[in-house]
Structure formats: C-alpha cells, structure tokens
Amino acid sequence: MQPAAEVVNNPNGATKARPNKSHKPNGGGGGGGGGGGGGGGGNDDDNEANEFKDRLSSAILVEKPNIKWDDVAGLAEAKRNLVQAVIMPMRLPQFFTGNRTPWRGILLYGPPGTGKSFLAKATATEANNSTFLTVSTSDLVSKWMGESEKLIRALFDTARDKKPSIIFVDEIDSLLSERSESDSEGARRIKTEFLIQMDGVGKSMDGVLLLAATNVPWGLDPAVRRRFEKKIYIPLPDYEARLALIKLKTKGMPSDLTEQDICKLAELTEGYSGADINILSRDAAMAPVNRIQQAEYFCMYNGKLWPCNPDQPGAVKTTVLDMTPEQLNLLVPPSLNINDFIQSLQKVKPSVSQKDLKRFEDWTKEFGTEGT
C-alpha cells in the first residue's frame, strides 16, 4: 500500500497534498523480498538525504571570497573575535582542547548597511582552507510539510562533509524569530530542527562554524540566541572608518579633494552607515557627469576635450548630445570636489535613527559584545 500523501497548509488555509514517489519493490520474487527489506529502507534514507543535498546545492553558494581584513574599515574588536573563533583553531589546533573549544555559533548584529555580510566574507577569505556556504533563509523554507527540516539537515550535513566549513545565514531572524502561539506547525518544526543541528545532536559540529547576521537581534527566539555563543555588535562606522570608506569610494576618480576635505566629510557623515556613505559617494560622483551634460562650450587642451566658459580662447559651442563618437572619446570628466559632496549631503540622509541605535546599544549591554 502506498503511504499517505504529504499534506501542507497553504497561506489561504487550504491543504495541499504532495503525491509520494512510487517505491521500487525490494528484491526479486517473494522468497528474496523479506531478506532485502531492511537494506532497502537504509538505501531509501540515503537516497532521500542525497536528493535534498542535491536540491540544496543549487541554492547554496559555495565560494572562496577574496575580501581581506584590510578591505573592512574599522571593526577591530569584531575582527579580533573572528580571528579567535575561526583562524586560531586552524593555526593552533593543539591549543583548543578541554574546555578551550572554538566557538561554534557567532551572531553578527547591528543596523542595516554596516557590513555584516562583508565581514563574514572577509572571515571566509582569511580562513582560506575553509568552505564558505552561504544560503538564503528563503531557500530553507518549503511549502511541503517536513521538507524544510530535511533541507536544514542537508545544509549542516553538507557543511560536515566539506569541513572545515563556515555556514553563513543572513537575516536569520526571518527564519528563527521568537516562538509564539500564532506560529504554524511548520514554523515550529523548522526552529526545532535548526536547534537540533546547532547542538550537533547525534553528529559532531567539529570543524563547522555557524555565522549568522541580523538587523533585529531582539526578534530572535531566546533558545536560538543562547546557542550563539558569541554575539558581536557591528555598529555604525566611527570617524576613522568613515575616513577610510570615503577614501575608498573616491579612489580612481579625477578628484580635487584634499586630505583636509576628506577629514571634513568624515566629520559631516557621523551617524551614516557604510551603505549610506556608499550612496552619498555615488550621488556626489554623478555631479561631474551632470556638469558635462549641462555644458554648452568645450575647448581642446593637451589633446583632450574639456568643458569651458564661453569666453575661453578656442571655445566651441556644442553639447554632449551633438558630439561625434570621436569627440566623445576625447572628453575628460570634471574633477570631483568638496562642494559636490556638500550638495549630496543635503539629499542623502542617515538611514538609522537614534531610537534604533539606542535599542542596539541596550541589547548589546544585555547580551552582546562591542565590535569596534
């Protein structure tokens, strides 16, 4: 007899059945069937596990990032903690015995746009013999009852197969939020399975690090929070980090910015996240393009075509839209300057409120570790 079809609740409250795959008969005739039954069940389990690993492999990004510590501005304490958790056990395994065991779960938390994912990739780069597995929480959720747990199991099994490995799950709060009476049966089962895998029940977690990130750490289930042995706050960039970010974002562009200008911009961007500074820099970088677009007079100098004033000797009245391809190739963009940034500061505002920052600071005092 075929087993009952799987049933799942969809968002509209209706149930949905998934037909089971037909089972191949164990062995040949009736006499040999009984002897092959036990082994067939084991093979079915192995085949199913491999099937879920294969399905997950298309969602898991197994990569070798190329982001160095020096590419991450600031966050000295976060880097130190990650070196201690990931790099040192690989370099000095003989040190990590007895109760001195490597951390198995690290949570990076902080406001959006502060570089949590970037820092995770830098960690994977520094741990250059580790496999870095990054997966979206949406890839671990299936509409079929029971499949999400199997996908989670397959994720951890893949990490164990490829150890030393780092599993990185971004926005983990969307998968492991605090349990409530309104949770569906599927959501409860997902959380339970994730906790089982984090504990390594029945299987060793040696050589496997779970690295997760969230913008809302207070939304995590307390049982999940406890299993992250290290919780590292990734705050907004400080002055030195903002200085480094602005230099990085203006590198490679014609620029009249002086060191004094960059220091001034680092002061003016207090309260901005790394993502905010990136948007600010991109907006400012468009100002020279706008000047070229609006220019009506151009002149030749040192074999290049420059925008100029109408009274400039040799000035020719034309626009970018009227130029030939040969003329366009001779164009030189105007240099980026401090005023371009000052104007962009009027349009690009910080994305993180003081109220949000206070909440992160309070949570850090209760549960976390400063990352700066």
Return the pLDDT at 19: 46
Report pLDDT for 233: 93
User: CATH number of 239-348: 1.25.40.10, 1.10.8.60, 1.10.10.10, 1.10.3470.10?
Assistant: 1.10.8.60
Q: Kindly report, residue by residue over 240-254, the tens digit of the pLDDT.
A: 999 999 999 999 899
Residues of each domain in the chain carrying CATH 3.40.50.300: 61-236+362-370
* Mean pLDDT on 209-214: 93
Judged against a pLDDT cut of 60, whether residue 182 lies above it is answered with yes
> Quick one: average pLDDT of 22-32?
42
pLDDT of residue 165: 87
**CA 142 to the chain's CA centroid:** 21
pLDDT of residue 33: 43
Above 80 in pLDDT, residue 83? yes
Read off the pLDDT of each residue in 27-39 and give the average, rounded to a whole number: 43
The CATH homologous superfamily of the domain defined by 61-236+362-370? P-loop containing nucleotide triphosphate hydrolases (3.40.50.300)
Residue ranges, CATH 1.10.8.60, the chain? 239-348
Q: What percent of the chain has pLDDT over 70?
A: 80
